[in-house]
C-alpha cells in the first residue's frame, strides 16, 4: 500500500538508520537545551538547524553517481589540502595558530573536511591500483604521501586529535585494501617504540601534560586533570536513572568544562544516567552496523572501501570522545558526533552519513538492475 503513497526515491532511503539518527540528534538537542540552562539558544536551536541543513546536503549527495564521485576524489582532496595550506598561511600572517577559515556566515575548519576526503581519495587510489601491486611498495608509498601531507599540515596547527583521526582513517583504508598483514604488525611494533620518542620529541608541552594527566588525573585535580575528573564525577554521579532533566549540578554550576561540546556526553549522563548512556551507545551501534553492512554489500572495490572508511571515521569520533569523557583516553579535542554542538563536526559526520547513504543507493540500484 505504502508503495503507492510514498514516492519511490523516498521509500528507498535507509529509514531504519535515519530515524534512530534523528532521535539521537533530538536527544542531543534536549541535552544542549539543558546545558544552556533551559533555553533553545544558543546551542540547541542551531544544533537542530545544522542537522536539517546538513541532512539536506546529505540527501543531495545521495544523488551523485559513482563515476562522478570517482572523478571528483583527487580534485576534492587537492582542494582541501589547499584550504589547509591557506589556513596555515593566514594563521602565520595573523601571528598565531589558526584552525578556521572565516567565510562570511560560516566558519570552516578545513581539517574536518580532510577526514572524509582522505577516505575518498584512498578509496579511489586503491580502486585504481592494479590488483597485482597490492603486496608491493606501489600500494604503500603514494597512499602514505596522501596521508602524510594533510597530517603534517594539521599537526602544524597544532591539532593532534584531527591528525590522529586522519591517520586512523588512512590506516583503516590501507588495511581494508588488503595490504599485507605483517606490515601492520610491524608498524604496530614500530609505533610502540616510537610512542615514547614522539612523546619526548614531537608532542608540545601541553600535549605531554595531557598524556601525563590522563595517566594520573588526580595528580593535578585543579589543572589539566580537572576536565577528566569533573567529567567522571558527572557520569558517575548520574547513577542508573540520572539526576533528572535540567538537574545536573556539574554542568549547570560550571564544574564540567565544555558541557556543550567535547563533554556533552557527561552532561547527558549526569541527567539521564546509565539508561541515557546505553541508549546513545545503542544508536551509534545501529548507525555503525548499518555502515558496515553497506560496505559489505557494495558491489565494487571503490564503494566498499568508501563506505567502510566513512564508517571507521564516525567510529573514531565516537570511540575517542567517549573514552576521553570516561577517563580511558587523554583529553584530545574531539567532539561526539550528532550530540556535540559544533558546525564543523556536524558537517563532517553528515558527509560520512551522506556518503554511506549514497553507497547504499548504489547498492540498491545494482540490486534493481540485477547485476549483483
Partner 1 sequence: MPREKKQQINAAGLRYSFQRRSFLLGAVQGGVGLLLAARMGYLAVAENERYRMLAESNRVNLTLIPPRRGWILDRGGAPLASNRADFRVDIIPERMDDPKATVEKLGTLLSLSPVDIQDLKDKLTDSRGFQPVEVASGLDYDQFAAISVRLPDLPGVVPQRGFSRFYPTGPSVGHLIGYVGAASAEDYEREHIPLLVTPGFKIGKDGLEKQFEQTLRGEPGARRVEVTARGEIVRDLETREDVQGNAVQLTIDGPLQDYAARRIGLESGSVVVLDCLTGDILCMASMPSFDPNSFSDGIGRIEWKMLADDDHVPLRNKVLKGLYPPGSTVKPMVSMAFLEAGLDPEETVHCSGGLRVGNRVFHCWNRRGHGTVNMAKGIYQSCDVYFYHFAQRLGMDVIAPMARRLGMQEEFPLPVASQFFGTVPDPQWLKRKHGREWQAYDTVNATIGQGYMLANPLQLAVMAARLATGNQIMPRMILDSSKPQFQSMNFHGNHTEVIRNAMYDVVNGPGTAGRARLPIDGVELAGKTGTAQVVSLSVSGGSSGPWKFRDHGLFNFFAPYDNPRYAGAVVIEHGGGSGAAYPIARDVLTFLFDPVLGLEKLYELEEQWGGTPAERMAKKYAAYAEEYGIDIPRPPRNPAVITREVDAEARAAALESPSVGANDGVRPVENDAEIPPAGTAARERSNTAAGSTTRRGSQ
Nearer to partner 1 (CB atom), residue 139 or residue 207: 139
Distance CA 322, CA 231 (A): 11
Give alpha helix (H) positions in 36-140.
44-62, 66-94, 110-128
Q: x/- binding map, residues 194-223, to partner 1, per CB under 8 A? A: ------------------------------
- Applying the rule CB under 8 A, the residues between 253 and 312 that interact with partner 1 are 253-255, 269-270, 273-274, 277-278, 281, 284-285, 288-289, 292, 295-296, 301, 304-305, 308, 312
Q: Contact between 175 and partner 1 (CB under 8 A)?
A: yes
Question: At residue 120, what are phi and psi to the nearest 5 degrees?
Answer: -60, -50
Q: Contact between 234 and partner 1 (CB under 8 A)?
A: yes
Nearer to partner 1 (CB atom), residue 82 or residue 282: 282
For residue 280, give the C-alpha cell: 546513545
Return the residue of 108, 164, 203, 233 that touches partner 1, per CB under 8 A: 233
- Applying the rule CB under 8 A, the residues between 177 and 196 that interact with partner 1 are 177-178
User: Quick check: helix, strand or coil at residue 224?
Assistant: coil
- Roughly how many angstroms between the first and final C-alpha of the chain, as a whole number? 28
Q: Contact between 236 and partner 1 (CB under 8 A)?
A: yes
Assess whether the previous peptide bond of 42 is cis (omega < 30° from 0).
yes
- Find the shortest distance in angstroms from Cβ 175 to partner 1: 6
Paired with 102 in beta bridges are: 107
What is the CB-side half-sphere exposure of residue 221 using CA atoms within 13 A?
5
Return the residue of 238, 337, 343, 354 that touches partner 1, per CB under 8 A: 238
Contact criterion met (CB below 8 Å) for 150 and 105: no
Nearer to partner 1 (CB atom), residue 128 or residue 254: 254
Looking at residue 83, the DSSP 8-state letter turns out to be H
- Applying the rule CB under 8 A, the residues between 324 and 363 that interact with partner 1 are 326, 328
For residue 134, give the C-alpha cell: 597490492
Q: Which of 20, 25, 30 is nearest to 51 (CA)?
A: 25
Residues touching partner 1, count (CB under 8 A): 49
- Find the shortest distance in angstroms from Cβ 155 to partner 1: 25
Helix (H) or strand (E) holding 245: none
| Neighbour-count burial of 360, counting CB atoms closer than 10 A to its CB (0-12 exposed, 13-18 middle, 19+ buried) | buried
- Applying the rule CB under 8 A, the residues between 92 and 151 that interact with partner 1 are 131-132, 134-135
Q: Contact between 237 and partner 1 (CB under 8 A)?
A: yes
| Residues lying near partner 1 in the complex (CB under 8 A) | 131-132, 134-135, 172, 175-178, 230, 232-240, 249-250, 253-255, 269-270, 273-274, 277-278, 281, 284-285, 288-289, 292, 295-296, 301, 304-305, 308, 312, 315, 319, 322-323, 326, 328
Amino acid at each position: 500500500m505504502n508503495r503507492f503513497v510514498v514516492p519511490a526515491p523516498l521509500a528507498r532511503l535507509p529509514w531504519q538508520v535515519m530515524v534512530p539518527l534523528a532521535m539521537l540528534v533530538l536527544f542531543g538537542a534536549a541535552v544542549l537545551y539543558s546545558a544552556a540552562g533551559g533555553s533553545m539558544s544558543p546551542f540547541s536551536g542551531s544544533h537542530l538547524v545544522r542537522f536539517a541543513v546538513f541532512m539536506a546536503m546529505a540527501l543531495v549527495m545521495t544523488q551523485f553517481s559513482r563515476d562522478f564521485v570517482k572523478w571528483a576524489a583527487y580534485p576534492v582532496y587537492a582542494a582541501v589540502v589547499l584550504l589547509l595550506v591557506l589556513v596555515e598561511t593566514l594563521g602565520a600572517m595573523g601571528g598565531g595558530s589558526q584552525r578556521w577559515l572565516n567565510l562570511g556566515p560560516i566558519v570552516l575548519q578545513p581539517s574536518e573536511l580532510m577526514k572524509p576526503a582522505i577516505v575518498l581519495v584512498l578509496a579511489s587510489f586503491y580502486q585504481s591500483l592494479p590488483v597485482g601491486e597490492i603486496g608491493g611498495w606501489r600500494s604503500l608509498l603514494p597512499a602514505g604521501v596522501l596521508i602524510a601531507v594533510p597530517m603534517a599540515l594539521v599537526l602544524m596547527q597544532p591539532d593532534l586529535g584531527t591528525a590522529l583521526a586522519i591517520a586512523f582513517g588512512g590506516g583503516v583504508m590501507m588495511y581494508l585494501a588488503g595490504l599485507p598483514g605483517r606490515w601492520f604488525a610491524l608498524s604496530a611494533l614500530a609505533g610502540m617504540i616510537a610512542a615514547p620518542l614522539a612523546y619526548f620529541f614531537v608532542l608540545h608541552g601541553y600535549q605531554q601534560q595531557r598524556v601525563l594527566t590522563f595517566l594520573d588525573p588526580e595528580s593535578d585535580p585543579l589543572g589539566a586533570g580537572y576536565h577528566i575528573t569533573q567529567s567522571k564525577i558527572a557520569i558517575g554521579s548520574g547513577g542508573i536513572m540520572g539526576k533528572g532533566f535540567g538537574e545536573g549540578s556539574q554542568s549547570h554550576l560550571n564544574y564540567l568544562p565544555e558541557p556543550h561540546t567535547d563533554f556533552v556526553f557527561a552532561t547527558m549522563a549526569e541527567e539521564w544516567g546509565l539508561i541515557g548512556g546505553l541508549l546513545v551507545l545503542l544508536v551509534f551501534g545501529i548507525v555503525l552496523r548499518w555502515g558496515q553492512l553497506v560496505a559489505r554489500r557494495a558491489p565494487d572495490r571503490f564503494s566498499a572501501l568508501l563506505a567502510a572508511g566513512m564508517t571507521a571515521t564516525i567510529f573514531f569520533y565516537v570511540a575517542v570522545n567517549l573514552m576521553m569523557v570516561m577517563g580511558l583516553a587523554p583529553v584530545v579535542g574531539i567532539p561526539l558526533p550528532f550530540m556535540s554542538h559544533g558546525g564543523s563536526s556536524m558537517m563532517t559526520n553528515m558527509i560520512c552519513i551522506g556518503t554511506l547513504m549514497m553507497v547504499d543507493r548504489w547498492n540498491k540500484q545494482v540490486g534493481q538492475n540485477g547485476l549483483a
